[in-house]
Chains A and B, each alone.
Chain A
Amino acid sequence: NAGVTQTPKFQVLKTGQSMTLQCAQDMNHEYMSWYRQDPGMGLRLIHYSVGAGITDQGEVPNGYNVSRSTTEDFPLRLLSAAPSQTSVYFCASSYSLMAGEYGYTFGSGTRLTVV
């Protein structure tokens, strides 16, 4: 089925460890983004990309890196995990930056716990 695939679904890290959250889409969307969702707060944008080779920072980029070598993939790297990065992470994609008539397509999320 066409959509956004995120792996893993669950992850527990120790403080200071690094890891990569994977995101892949098969809809040929140019725009991809990473959000985090925390209780009592709206989804917050971490990083986004408007096409292969082009990335930029969102609202809460510190502690995260991204790259976009292909249209399909947009991995999110945690450099040195901290308890404050405990959250649910969503990858989203769209045919354009402003989403427009079709909105964003979200993955099912990665629930990350940092101990």
Chain B
Amino acid sequence: EDQVTQSPEALRLQEGESSSLNCSYTVSGLRGLFWYRQDPGKGPEFLFTLYSAGEEKEKERLKATLTKKESFLHITAPKPEDSATYLCAVSTSGTYKYIFGTGTRLKVLA
């Protein structure tokens, strides 16, 4: 069964304290892996798409990487405004399915 698991469920960081969020996946065929940011009371906001192992993408303090079994979202020197829930999703080959993980709630303290 296709599955996406995110860890940790919640993470508290001090401002400037770098860390990584994990998204592990088990799918029959990966078409793409997506990262989204969701602020309280809002819809998810698209961040990155990764297609193949070894691929990396960056945006400001965020860097997403992909291996054959997992993806990491690295946050370098985070700021309080980076506090949000980060969602991972995968799309699988040959279907419409877009499977979301349950997210990591990140809190960055000033």
Q: Enumerate chain A interface residues (CB-CB to B < 8 A).
A: 4, 40-45, 48, 56, 58-59, 90, 92, 97-109
Contact = CB atoms under 8 A, between A and B. Distances in A.
Contacts of B101: 42
**Interface core residue of A43, A101, A102, A108 (most chain B CB under 10 Å):** A43
B contact face: mostly helix, strand, loop, or mixed: strand
Contact of B99 (A4, A42, A92): A42
14 contacts: A40-B102, A42-B103, A43-B87, A45-B97, A58-B96, A59-B97, A99-B91, A101-B49, A102-B49, A103-B34, A104-B46, A106-B44, A106-B45, A109-B41
B91 A98 contact: yes
A74 to B, nearest CB: 15
Interface of B: 4, 31-32, 34, 36, 41-47, 49, 87, 89, 91, 96-103
A21 to B, nearest CB: 13
A108 B42 contact: yes
B18 to A, nearest CB: 25
B80 to A, nearest CB: 22
A96 B97 CA distance: 13
